[in-house]
Amino acid sequence: MAVNLSKGQRISLEKVAPGLIEIFVGLGWDINATDTGADFDIDASVFMLGSNEKLISDNHFIFYNNLNSPDPEQSVQQRGDNRTGAGEGDDEIIDINLKTVPSDVAKMVIAVTIHEAEQRKQNFGQVQNAFVRVVNGADEKEVIRYDLTEDFSTETALIMAELYRKDGEWRMNAVGAGYEGGLQALLDRYQS
């Protein structure tokens, strides 16, 4: 049975699923009935950060134009861009092999942003039922889930969760923090 987190809660992956190695992070959302005249293109991304809380390199930013992490094992892989969010379940998925993530990666920030939000007059207030979940890649059982419940009426970027190392094990932090300025606001925060 999955552990449901609230905003700000942290949990050890090892405690909820001992021996967890291959996971996927599923992100999903539904669009409110508000018609903005354009599809909502919400994009998932991962910022692979060093101990200084900054991107290790530009190639450590995983998104629709850079689907794989730069390490030889490609330990983090974005499965591709869902441009409409239509359908049930996960709208975008990121595969992570926790065992092969390079040791210089201290934290992975999992975020979603609205593509061309300003031009399309869109924000996360027009999105509902947003969630992030960690799934065991071996048996596809949900391990951890965080459902966002806040109304982000002006924000166009959300940090959903963080996976970080502490005492030699991976942990998850349910963040749920919104930002105005879309993807660029997050890049400004995490680039050196």
pLDDT tens for 97-121 read: 999 999 999 999 999 898 888 888 8
Confidence of residue 37 (pLDDT cuts 50, 70, 90): low
Higher-confidence residue: 20 or 121?
A: 20
pLDDT at 31: 77
Rama region for 13: left / alpha / beta (φ>0; ψ in -120 to 50; rest)? alpha
47-62, pLDDT tens digit by residue?
A: 999 999 999 999 999 9
Q: How many contiguous H segments (helices) and E segments (strands) does the chain have?
A: 3, 12
Q: What is the DSSP string of 92-146?
A: EEEEEETTTS-TT--EEEEEEEETTHHHHT--GGGEEEEEEEEEETTT--EEEEE
Query: How, if at all, do strands 3-5 and 142-147 pair?
Result: parallel
Whole-structure pTM value: 0.90
pLDDT of 141 > 90? The answer is: yes
Instruction: Name the band, by pLDDT with cuts 50, 70 and 90, for residue 90.
Output: confident
pLDDT at 81: 56
DSSP structure class, residue 22: E
Confidence band (pLDDT; 50, 70, 90) for 36? low
| Between 179 and 2, residue with greater pLDDT | 179
* pLDDT at residue 14, rounded to an integer: 93
Superfamily of domain 3-190: sav2460 like domains (2.60.60.30)
- DSSP code of residue 75: -
Read off the pLDDT band of 125 (50, 70, 90): confident
Average pLDDT (26-33) is 80
